[in-house]
């Protein structure tokens, strides 16, 4: 998957909802390459995850991303409070039903996420990350 996301032609098909994050461990300095689903939102990329690697992302510190086959920097805003995470997960789950299924968030007949499932996701450690890609060439 990571290799496919590096190929511009292939990533147009495979990577419509995927980006690669280049994350540096905050304690170890180890580098991680993490493919993750995103939802576009007002010029930003919205991602959500309950996994520990996300703790290496910090608001105000840029991260490198590969978006549509090109590597660039993005500004990071990490959201951990319940209202913020729930609002972000509502957007992500309603726009990407695979995200909802992966995170065990049920959807009603209109495609809206179950509020109880959203709360349970937050209680289990879910966090939302808003990435604002910088223009190419600006690091």
Domain boundaries, the chain: 2-133
**Per-residue pLDDT reduced to its tens digit, 77-103:** 999 999 999 999 999 999 999 999 999
Q: Does residue 37 sit in helix, strand or coil?
A: strand
Is 3.40.640.10 the CATH number for 2-133?
no
**Type and span of the H or E element at 12:** helix 8-14
What pTM was estimated for this model as a whole?
0.84
């Amino acid at each position: 998957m990571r290799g496919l996301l590096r190929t511009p032609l292939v990533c147009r098909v495979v990577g419509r909802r995927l980006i690669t994050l280049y994350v540096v461990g905050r304690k170890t300095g180890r580098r991680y390459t993490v493919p993750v689903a995103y939802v576009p939102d007002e010029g930003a990329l919205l991602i959500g995850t309950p996994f520990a690697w996300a703790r290496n992302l910090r608001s105000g510190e840029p991260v490198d991303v590969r978006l549509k086959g090109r590597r660039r920097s993005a500004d990071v805003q990490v959201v951990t409070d319940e209202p913020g995470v729930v609002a972000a997960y509502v957007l992500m789950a309603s726009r990407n039903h695979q995200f909802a299924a992966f995170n065990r968030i049920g959807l009603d007949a209109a495609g809206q996420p179950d509020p109880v499932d959203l709360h349970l996701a937050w209680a289990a450690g879910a966090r939302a990350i808003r990435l604002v890609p910088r223009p190419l060439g600006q690091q």
